[in-house]
């Protein structure tokens, strides 16, 4: 899993090769300069070894050189960090773009099966965690590896035997870091998953705040949050505890290395094998050699967390998208849409072990008004989902204007329908922007005319800024009825060749509903229309009424003929007046 995720991250680096080369170049030059400083320190020490005999003439240029080298190394490190930042946030931007693009291409079945909070957590929180780990990796990994190689070369040049002592003890530090990193991956994975679960609950509680309050669910919601929060605390503590062992353990090994260098180097100096200045340089190199192991071990720990988060994001990005449009898919236009719709031998179910729509056969002529009625769970909204191709049928065909909709370009199919749903959705923006959501090029006159047709103009003008009034997220500063009127105005503006009205007036008062029904009747004139309704009084003028029960159309006909048949529809209709 980790190797696959790491390969996916590396694959995304291909767009940033020039920046990567610059980062490595700056890191290499910075390390070389930093490794030159211990040599200068050794030379400086050798100018003042004897008591009272300091060679200030020789010392001065050494100190000036040290200052210049240190400043130049600092500038190179800044440039390296700049390149690393550009790479890191460029990659995370690309990943977020991929995630949002995938979100727009996912079938509704994915969104039905995954909580919105967990999806948001993957796109926002997990990508942020991934960015932090990636930035640390770029910043410290390159310089760390180069420092290890460079110091080893310099130490071998100074004294081969002491350098070999350092090299022989080094694998112990690597073993400790690798062991801890291997055992922290699953802990970070659990932490990330629990964080997604917590985000999902918070999203659920905020989205349903009114329902939570109305049913006095606050205490139970807090209990659920506390339980998840406790699990997140435990997972985070364990992951942090075990990962934090890396640095002290590797430091312990590195201190042993430093001790061995000091002892062995001291004996060599006594025997005259090297100067005190050389020993000072060697100790500096030993310290520089072991320091990257501490940093790299910390980087590896952060990368465990980053890779876990990246794996969750990539899992989302690689989710199965909607079935692509077939090659040479038919493009429906207002001129080519006849309005003829046919369901032929259609079978469909959301869960394979739970049957829903079976052997559905319905033929709708151009311009007909089709009402779909039946008890809850009968499959009414499912018909709409299949018609709009939010879901594909398991068997059979759904045809529009003589074309199997699987052979029609999705965008043109959906543009052929105007939908008003019971669940309203408004974006953050002005009233004008919401009405023109599907037609952003509409003129002011067209927007006002659509609002008047939907009987929304009067309440819009009562607002402080009229059509420029800013609507809160999801229209929280509007009533349900007002939100529904704006959604109706949105459809009135587009005037598509076919209509779908799914409980379109469920939140509107009776007087306004009568007026809107008249507007709908005018809009539906000559257009094939599908009307899903529980209030049967609103669909008496439909040309065909499909009566559904348990996924089957058990009766069909107009209002009068179905009443005369005295069947299931008659019982439903009369029950409203009982």
pTM: 0.64
Could you tell me the two tokens for 531? 């009307």
Mean pLDDT of the chain: 80
Do 451 and 564 sit in the same domain of this protein?
A: yes
Residue 298 pLDDT class (50, 70, 90 cuts): low
Do 146 and 27 sit in the same domain of this protein?
A: yes
Does 341 map to a domain?
no
Do 268 and 121 sit in the same domain of this protein?
A: yes
Mean pLDDT over 282-302 rounds to 70
How confident is the model over 43-100, as pLDDT tens digits?
777 777 665 576 777 778 888 888 998 899 889 989 988 888 888 888 888 888 888 8
549 beta partners = 552
Does 346 map to a domain?
no
- pLDDT surpasses 70 at 153: yes
Q: Cβ(44)–Cβ(59) under 8 Å?
A: yes
Report which of 244, 259, 246 is spatially closest to residue 173, judged by C-alpha positions.
246
Mean pLDDT over 224-247 rounds to 82
How confident is the model over 304-328, as pLDDT tens digits?
778 878 888 888 888 887 777 888 8
**CA gap 439, 398 in Å, rounded:** 27
Pinpoint the alpha helices (H) of 245-275.
Answer: 246-270
Does 290 map to a domain?
yes
- pLDDT surpasses 60 at 578: no
- pLDDT surpasses 70 at 475: no
Could you tell me the two tokens for 419? 């939908």
Do 101 and 226 sit in the same domain of this protein?
A: yes
| Torsions phi, psi for 57 (to 5 deg) | -65, -45
Does 113 map to a domain?
yes
How confident is the model over 540-563, as pLDDT tens digits?
778 888 888 887 888 888 888 888
Does 557 map to a domain?
yes
Do 164 and 272 sit in the same domain of this protein?
A: yes
Number of domains in the chain: 2
pLDDT score recorded for residue 50: 60
Task: Count the alpha carbons within 13 Å of 25 in the hemisphere toward its beta carbon.
Answer: 9
**CA gap 557, 566 in Å, rounded:** 12
Residue finishing a domain among 248, 282, 317: 317
Do 256 and 118 sit in the same domain of this protein?
A: yes
pLDDT score recorded for residue 71: 92
Percentage above 70 pLDDT, the chain: 90
Residue 399 pLDDT class (50, 70, 90 cuts): very high
**CA gap 520, 538 in Å, rounded:** 11
Q: Cβ(320)–Cβ(189) under 8 Å?
A: no
Pinpoint the alpha helices (H) of 137-159.
Answer: 142-158
Mean pLDDT over 472-479 rounds to 71
- pLDDT surpasses 70 at 474: no
Residue finishing a domain among 317, 332, 355: 317
Query: Helices 160-207 & 276-317, crossing angle to 10 degrees?
Result: 30
Do 184 and 293 sit in the same domain of this protein?
A: yes
Which has more confidence, 295 or 404?
Answer: 404
Does 71 map to a domain?
yes
Least trusted range by pLDDT, from 8-12, 29-33, 389-393, 460-464: 8-12
Report which of 450, 428, 423, 424 is spatially closest to residue 516, judged by C-alpha positions.
450
Residue 198 pLDDT class (50, 70, 90 cuts): confident
Could you tell me the two tokens for 412? 């043109």
**CA gap 390, 397 in Å, rounded:** 14
CATH of the domain at 125: 1.20.1560.10
Alpha carbon distances (Å) from 217 to 181, 209, 212, 221: 42, 10, 5, 6
**CA gap 91, 83 in Å, rounded:** 12
Do 429 and 566 sit in the same domain of this protein?
A: yes
Residue finishing a domain among 317, 335, 359: 317
User: Whole-angstrom distance between the N-terminal and C-terminal Cα of the chain?
Assistant: 63
Least trusted range by pLDDT, from 180-184, 396-400, 413-417: 180-184
CATH of the domain at 454: 3.40.50.300
Does 336 map to a domain?
no
Does 81 map to a domain?
yes
How confident is the model over 487-516, as pLDDT tens digits?
888 888 877 888 888 876 666 677 777 777
Residue 177 pLDDT class (50, 70, 90 cuts): low
Do 313 and 421 sit in the same domain of this protein?
A: no
pLDDT score recorded for residue 75: 92
- pLDDT surpasses 80 at 141: no
- pLDDT surpasses 60 at 1: no
- Work out whether strand 429-430 and strand 528-532 pair parallel, antiparallel, or are unpaired: unpaired
556 beta partners = 546
The domain in which residue 517 lies consists of 368-375+416-575
**CA gap 460, 269 in Å, rounded:** 91
**DSSP three-state, residue 409:** coil
Report which of 66, 75, 59 is spatially closest to residue 39, judged by C-alpha positions.
66
Among 168-177, 311-320, 362-371, the range with the most confident prediction by mean pLDDT is 362-371
How confident is the model over 89-139, as pLDDT tens digits?
888 888 888 888 888 888 777 777 777 777 888 888 888 888 877 777 777
Do 437 and 305 sit in the same domain of this protein?
A: no
């Amino acid at each position: 899993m980790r190797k696959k995720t790491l390969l996916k991250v590396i694959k995304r680096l291909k767009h940033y090769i020039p920046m990567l080369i610059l980062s490595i170049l700056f890191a290499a030059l910075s390390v070389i300069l930093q490794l030159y400083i211990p040599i200068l320190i050794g030379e400086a020490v050798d100018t003042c070894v004897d008591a009272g005999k300091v060679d200030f003439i020789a010392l001065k240029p050494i100190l000036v050189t040290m200052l210049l080298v240190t400043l130049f190394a600092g500038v190179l490190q800044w440039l390296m960090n700049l390149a690393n930042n550009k790479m890191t946030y460029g990659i995370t931007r690309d990943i977020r773009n991929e995630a949002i693009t995938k979100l727009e291409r996912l079938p509704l079945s994915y969104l039905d099966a995954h909580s919105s909070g967990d999806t948001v957590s993957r796109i926002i929180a997990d990508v942020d965690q991934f960015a932090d780990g990636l930035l640390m990796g770029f910043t410290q990994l390159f310089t760390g590896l180069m420092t290890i190689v460079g110091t080893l070369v310099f130490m071998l040049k100074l004294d081969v035997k002491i350098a070999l002592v350092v090299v022989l003890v080094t694998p112990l530090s690597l073993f400790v870091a690798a062991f801890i990193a291997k055992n922290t991956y699953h802990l970070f994975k659990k932490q990330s998953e629990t964080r997604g679960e917590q985000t999902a609950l918070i999203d659920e509680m905020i989205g349903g705040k009114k329902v939570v309050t109305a049913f006095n669910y606050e205490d139970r919601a807090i209990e659920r949050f506390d339980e998840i929060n406790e699990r997140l605390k435990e997972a985070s503590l364990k992951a942090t505890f075990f990962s934090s062992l890396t640095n002290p353990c590797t430091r312990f090994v590195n201190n042993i290395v430093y001790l061995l260098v000091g002892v062995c180097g001291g004996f060599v100096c006594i025997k005259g094998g090297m100067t005190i200045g050389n020993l000072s340089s060697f100790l500096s190199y030993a310290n520089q050699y072991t320091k990257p192991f501490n940093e790299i071990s910390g980087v590896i720990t952060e990368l465990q967390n980053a890779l876990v988060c990246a794996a969750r994001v990539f899992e989302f990005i690689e989710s199965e998208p909607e079935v692509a449009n077939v090659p040479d898919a038919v493009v429906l236009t207002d001129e080519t849409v006849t309005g003829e719709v046919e369901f032929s031998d259609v079978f469909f179910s959301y869960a394979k072990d739970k049957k829903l729509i079976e052997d559905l056969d319905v033929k709708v002529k151009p311009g007909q008004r089709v009402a779909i009625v039946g008890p809850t769970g009968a499959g009414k909204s499912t018909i709409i989902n299949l018609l709009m191709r939010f879901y594909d049928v398991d068997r059979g065909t759904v045809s529009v204007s003589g074309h199997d909709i699987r052979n029609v370009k999705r965008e043109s199919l959906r543009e052929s329908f105007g939908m008003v749903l019971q669940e309203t959705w408004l974006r953050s923006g002005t009233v004008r922007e919401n009405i023109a959501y599907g037609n952003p090029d509409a003129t002011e006159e067209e927007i006002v005319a659509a609002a008047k047709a939907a009987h929304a103009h009067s309440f819009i003008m009562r607002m402080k800024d009229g059509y420029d009034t800013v609507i809160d997220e999801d229209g929280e500063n509007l009533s349900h009825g007002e939100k529904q009127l704006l959604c109706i105005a949105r459809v009135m503006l587009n005037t598509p060749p076919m209509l779908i009205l799914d409980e379109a007036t469920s939140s509107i008062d009776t007087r306004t509903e009568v007026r809107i029904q008249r507007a709908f009747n005018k809009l539906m004139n000559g257009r094939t229309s599908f009307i899903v309704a529980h209030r049967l009084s609103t669909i008496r003028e439909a040309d065909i009424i499909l009566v559904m029960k348990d996924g089957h159309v058990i009766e069909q006909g107009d209002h009068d003929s179905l009443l005369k048949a005295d069947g299931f529809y008659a019982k439903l209709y009369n029950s409203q007046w009982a």
